[in-house]
Amino acid sequence: MDPYDEFQSIDFELIDDVNEYKEIIDECREWKDEHDSNDEYNIDPSQFDDEEEYLDALRKLWKRKYDYFNEFSSIDPNDYSNEDDYSNAIENKKNWMNKYDKDNVYKLDPSDYDCEEEYLDALILHWQETYDSKHQFNGFNFNKFTTIDDYLVELDDRMNWTTQCDPEGMYSKIDASNYDNLIQYKHQINLRKAWKSKYDPNNEHTNINPCDYNDVEEYHEALMDD
């Protein structure tokens, strides 16, 4: 019944007859076939009082195998009854990390998030805090960025635009990331400059910023009411 001595922990002193021994062997084989059919973990199921204890021992080894550095701590092996489901859950989150933060620079655990979009949104916030801490450029369609490099290319472009068109930062309320190209952004800057030059050339209304208005009529009316 156990020619290869797989189930060494069976205590014969507690067994009255061969049928009882056979039942124990069959049960242990059933557990092993269900949870470790390839005998990868070399754990004797007969040393455990029940299947759940045996499974708990295996889960610790799954964790060591698939999440040795505890990068995916929110994926609890205790929530899984078989290795494949657990490893697939880890692999899914690992794919997110490889896609958006391959080197795990921002130390975000993707398993803390229910969906890929939430994980990406959290990463974007970290990108902004690192490279645009004043949140000067909030108008990006962040959904189009899949890597930090993609974001930095666009951010560097906008920074160059502002340096070129508004070196003194007088029109910083106009978010360059709202525009697809330099011509569009420069047009908006030039409009505000023209409004200011026409209606407030001596800068008497310092509390009224032309960038706060969508058209010249609104801006002019605000100046008249000041």
Q: Among residues 189, 129, 184, which one has the least CA distance to residue 163?
A: 189
Tens-level pLDDT at each residue, the chain (226 residues): 656 667 666 665 666 677 777 777 888 889 988 999 888 998 888 888 899 999 999 999 999 999 999 999 999 999 998 999 999 999 999 999 998 888 888 889 999 999 998 998 899 999 999 999 999 999 999 888 888 899 999 999 999 999 999 999 999 999 999 999 999 999 999 999 999 999 999 988 989 999 999 899 999 999 998 7
Residue showing tokens 């994980």:
119
Mutual orientation of helices 116-131 and 83-100 as an angle, nearest 10°?
30
138 CB neighbour count, 10 Å cutoff: 11
Q: Tell me if 195 sits within 8 A of 210, measured CB to CB.
A: yes
Q: What is the pTM of this model?
A: 0.66
What is the predicted pLDDT for the residue at 196? Answer: 92
What is the predicted pLDDT for the residue at 42? Answer: 85
Alpha-carbon gap, residue 20 to 7, rounded angstroms: 14
What is the predicted pLDDT for the residue at 161? Answer: 97
